[in-house]
Amino acid sequence: MKKALTLFAAFALGFTASAQSNVYFTNEITPESLVKIYQALGVEPTGRVALKISTGESSQSNHLRPEFIVDLVNLTNATIVECNTAYGGNRSTTARHLQAIAERGFDQIAEVDIMDAEGVINIPVTDTKWIQHDIVGSHLANYDFMINLAHFKGHAMGGFGGVLKNQSIGVASKSGKAYIHSAGASTTNPWGNNDQDSFLESMAAAAQAVHNYFKQEGKDIVYINVMNNLSVDCDCDGHPAAPQMNDIGILASTDPVALDKACLDLIFNYSSTPGDNAQPLINRINQRHGTHTVEYAEQIGLGTQEYNLIDINTTGLEEFDSQNPSPESLRYNVFSIDGKKVMSNATSLESLPAGVYIINGQKRVISK
């Protein structure tokens, strides 16, 4: 008899199967696959489009390169947007930031806008536990649609950086970055906060503020994580540690929580081999309690950690149906109930013994 997959304790968890968000996946990391996974989301841009990326601290940083994103820029007629940094470095002022952007070649493929070059605006936060508003560049008001395109990797302070960080710290102005890092204590000093969870929770609250801003009538936002050059260090590090694991792919969703969660599951469930080792990145995430950002973002209502993982390479784009993905396109990240890895990006659950598992962020029972 075939195994049946049933929801375990749905009411206790507060979710049903329909609460899962779709996360799309491709193991191809090319300009063409970036366009394809963006199109799989099925969300048409309207008005003026902002493409939020990190332009990197140096030519040695692992930021996404202009030649990789150029097709997506051309397709959407997007403006690359950034904000100045709070930690110094070569992007801490608008003049130096624009110089760095030119040195990296981004101005050769698109208009580039430093959103806090002419001041800041405050946008409301739903969660006021630590921060009372989100301080963003005033130019944010010029855009109707945002593509949050993040390089997923480690981070010295947050544990990891994905779309939630790219949307919170990344969209915040120079003063807004200090405000988030200090959990609301300062707009000038980002380093005085010794409570790690308050920083992570402030990031989640700021990410939700930007999400809500772009969910106003006539506006929208989508999310993409590129899982390559998986260093323990962020693109804000001009001399990052070399990646010790291989590239994984590109993932996209309209739900930033589900997206970062799916990427974390791929990291934590990675089958390491000699010369291809995920453990340093796992250690960095754990040392900084990085998963708490995703957990708290779900808690405050930004999204869900439960997801359907859909491989877009199983069918041509012209046949792809984002609302009704084919069964053969579904992929599964499986953990035991005590958090031990069982399957990563698996194409089937048929080989699982009967038992209780965490499958794509959801507690489920496998029974014969």
pLDDT tier at 190, thresholds 50, 70, 90: very high
CB atoms within 10 A of CB 126: 12
CB atoms within 10 A of CB 10: 15
CA atoms within 13 A on the CB side of 49: 18
Residue 331 lies in a domain: no
Residue 6 lies in a domain: no
CB 101 within 8 A of CB 59: no
The residue assigned the tokens 């995703």 is 294
Express each pLDDT in 193-249 by its tens digit.
Answer: 999 999 999 999 999 999 999 998 889 999 999 999 999 998 888 899 999 999 999
The arithmetic mean of pLDDT across residues 324-333, rounded, is 86
pLDDT tier at 12, thresholds 50, 70, 90: very low
Residue 18: the pLDDT is 44
pTM: 0.91
The arithmetic mean of pLDDT across residues 292-320, rounded, is 88
Q: Which range of residues forms the domain containing residue 32? A: 21-305
Q: How far is CA 289 from the centre of its chain?
A: 16
Residue whose C-alpha is closest to residue 125's, from 35, 58, 204: 204
Radius of gyration of the chain (CA): 20
**72 sits in which H/E element:** helix 66-76
Q: Quote the CA–CA distance of 216 and 99 in Å, as a whole number.
A: 34
Q: Quote the CA–CA distance of 153 and 17 in Å, as a whole number.
A: 29
Residue 357 lies in a domain: no
Q: What is the rounded end-to-end Cα distance, in angstroms, of the chain?
A: 7
Tokens at 139, concatenated: 């130019």
CB atoms within 10 A of CB 335: 20
Residue 317: the pLDDT is 52
The residue assigned the tokens 């609460």 is 19
Domain count, the chain: 1
Residue 16 has pLDDT above 50, yes or no: no
Residue type, 329: S
Residue 32 lies in a domain: yes
- Which has the higher per-residue pLDDT, 6 or 198? 198
Tell me the C-alpha to C-alpha distance, in Å, between residue 24 and each of 18, 225, 235.
Answer: 17, 10, 24
pLDDT tier at 318, thresholds 50, 70, 90: low
Express each pLDDT in 79-103 by its tens digit.
Answer: 999 999 988 777 889 999 999 999 9
Any idea what the CATH number is for the domain that residue 224 is in? 3.40.50.11440
Residue 65 lies in a domain: yes
Cβ burial 138-173 (10 Å sphere, 16+ → b, else e): ebbeebebbbbbbbbbbbbbbbbbbbbbbbbbbbbb
Residue 321 lies in a domain: no
Residue 368: the pLDDT is 64
Express each pLDDT in 125-137 by its tens digit.
Answer: 999 999 999 999 9
Q: What average pLDDT is seen over the chain?
A: 91
Residue 322: the pLDDT is 64
The percent of residues above 70 in pLDDT, for the chain, comes to 92
Residue 319: the pLDDT is 59
CB 44 within 8 A of CB 31: no
Residue 334 lies in a domain: no
Residue 236 lies in a domain: yes
The arithmetic mean of pLDDT across residues 277-287, rounded, is 98
pLDDT tier at 141, thresholds 50, 70, 90: very high
Residue 174: the pLDDT is 95
Tokens at 248, concatenated: 């994984």
* Strand partners of residue 49: 145
